[in-house]
Amino acid sequence: MATPQLETMDLEVFAAIARLGSFSAAATELRLAAPSVSNRISALERRLGTTLFVRGARGSKLTPAGQRLAGYARRCLDILDEAVRGLDTGIPERLVLAAPNSFAATVFPLAFNALDGLPVAAHGRVAHSREVVEQVRDGSAHGGFLLTQVATGSLRSERLGTSPMVAVCRTGHPLCGETDLTPDDLVRTKLVVYHWDAEGEPLAAGFNHAERRRDEPVHTTGSPEAAISIALHSDHLAVVPRFAARDLLRAGQIQILPVRLPLWSVELRFVYLPANADRPGIAALLNVLPSLREELTS
Query: What pLDDT shows up at residue 197?
Result: 67
- pLDDT > 60? residue 180: yes
Residues 280 and 156 in one domain: yes
Q: Are residues 69 and 14 in the same domain?
A: yes
Do 273 and 155 lie in one domain? The reply is yes
Of residues 196, 224, 194, the one with CA closest to residue 105: 224
Domain count, the chain: 3
**pLDDT tens per residue, range 136-177:** 988 888 999 998 767 777 889 999 998 988 999 999 998 888
Domain co-membership, 131 together with 275 = yes
Based on the fold, state whether residues 139 and 280 are members of the same structural domain: yes
CA 216 vs. chain centroid, Å, equals 29
Question: 258 is in which domain, residue-wise?
Answer: 162-266
Q: What is the mean pLDDT of residues 206-214?
A: 76
Given 27, 53, 74, which residue is the final one in a domain?
74
* 128-to-71, 98, 99, 205, 289 alpha-carbon distances in Å: 12, 9, 7, 23, 22
Asked if 52 and 195 sit in the same domain, the reply is no
Q: Does pLDDT of 46 surpass 70? A: yes
Residue 231: what pLDDT?
A: 93
Residues 199 and 244 in one domain: yes
Give the CATH number for residue 192: 3.40.190.10
What's the pLDDT at 111? Answer: 93
Q: How confident is the model at residue 189 (pLDDT cuts 50, 70, 90)?
A: confident
Query: What pLDDT, on the 0 to 100 scale, is given for residue 85?
Result: 64
Boundary of a domain, candidates 74, 90, 114 = 74
Does residue 223 share a domain with residue 146? no
Q: 179 lies in a domain?
A: yes
Identify the domain boundary among 56, 74, 92: 74
What pLDDT, on a 0 to 100 scale, did the predictor assign at position 91?
61
Are 82 and 136 contained in the same domain? Answer: yes
**Residue 238 clears pLDDT 90, i.e. is over it:** yes
> Is 179 found in the same domain as 124?
no
How far apart are the two ends of the chain, measured CA to CA in Å?
56
Q: What per-residue confidence (pLDDT) applies to 138?
A: 82
DSSP state string for 198-224: GGGHHHHHTT--TTS-TTSPPEEES-H
Whether residue 3 lies inside any domain: the answer is no
Strand 93-99 and strand 120-126: the pairing is parallel
